[in-house]
Amino acid sequence: MIDGFGRRIEYLRISVTDRCDLRCRYCMAEKMTFLPRNEVLSLEEIAIIADRLIARGVHKIRLSGGEPLVRRDFMELARRIGRHLEGGGLNELTLTTNGTRLAEYAEALFDAGMRRINVSLDSLEPDRFAHITRGGDLGKVLGGIAAANAAGLRIKINMVALKGLNDHEFLPMLRWCADQGHDLTLIETMPLGDTGEDRTDRYMPLAEALSQIEAEHPLAPVLYRSGGPARYFAAEGMEHIRLGLITPLSDNFCAGCNRMRLTCEGKIFMCLGHEDHIDLKTAYRKGGVGAVDAALDRALIAKPLAHAFAIGPDGTKGVTRRHMSVTGG
């Protein structure tokens, strides 16, 4: 699949649910209204849409949410999509999770064909973690990470940089990841949905985080790419760990975008930072697989060149109405 700007689309992110068992301050409001269950794609519908995208050239699928592991039939879906790994149609099936249920599902994820996952973890301090997540239990997440590691899953920690909240923890998190054998990716906060807080005060360009790290561990760029938007670096004195940076605001990566996002209600978003979308659920329910292909053709043409995110002294610009949990990470 080639979009209107010549970019090859080969990476699909699927939000299997908009529900989550945490309420992270940069992602969700404290009191959320979730989609009625009858508006959410069935497991069969998600699998059929994934089949069509794989047939058309998608080589990597990431399952996300919300928190994907809260969906009751999640493992059945993961196993069904994972079958494409055996036939070579899919190169990789991965997961983004908050880790709260990893201890229960780690071995099943490995058996479904996953070999690496991303875990969102924004603080190693229990009280601060509870504050950022509005009540999360750090010990439960760390236990889930340990179980995933024991099951053979490679783990990358995703840490959102939050000025005034966790901006003193970049070095401790990097050192902890190095000790545990995990990669670390730092992410700039993005203006998605009304979370009930002003994210202008929390935005921190990752250049500031790098200056803290490089004072202790000089960084050198590495050629590794995971298929997503992160740029990776090696930290001096830390073997077997890569530091990734995702900078949608300070240094956007739109020119090389290779992604589309499918929401749990069946909408394809061509860009995280735009409201424009194509309704695959309606297309499939009215016209079957052929209508899905036609809708995907329209999506490719409509994919924009770049997002319009911006956070500055005048406030947040390019805000989308939907929360990150709706579109998927």
Known binding residue 156? Answer is yes
CB atoms within 10 A of CB 282: 13
Q: Is 33 annotated as a binding residue?
A: no
Q: Is 15 annotated as a binding residue?
A: no
177: annotated binding-site residue? no
Strands 92-97 and 315-317, sheet pairing:
unpaired
Distance CA 188, CA 209 (A): 10
Instruction: Judge whether 159 is annotated as a binding position.
Output: no
| 66 among annotated binding-site residues | yes
Tell whether 27 is in a known binding site: yes
Question: Coil, strand, or helix at residue 281?
Answer: helix
Six token digits for residue 229: 């938007």
Report the DSSP beta bridge partners of residue 112: none
254 is in an annotated binding site: yes
Is residue 89 part of an annotated ligand binding site?
no
Q: DSSP E strands: which ranges in the chain?
A: 11-15, 60-64, 92-97, 116-120, 154-161, 183-188, 219-221, 231-235, 242-246, 259-262, 267-269, 277-279, 310-312, 315-317
264 labeled binding residue: no
- Which of 246, 229, 322, 329 lies closest to 15 in space, CA to CA? 329
- Per the annotation, does 257 bind a ligand? yes
Residue 62 is labelled as binding a ligand: yes
- Residues placed in the known binding site for [4Fe-4S] cluster: 20, 24, 27, 254, 257, 271
- Residues placed in the known binding site for S-adenosyl-L-methionine: 26, 66, 120, 190
- Residues placed in the known binding site: 13, 20, 24, 26-27, 62, 66, 96, 120, 156, 190, 254, 257, 259-261, 271
- Residues placed in the known binding site for GTP: 13, 62, 96, 156, 259-261
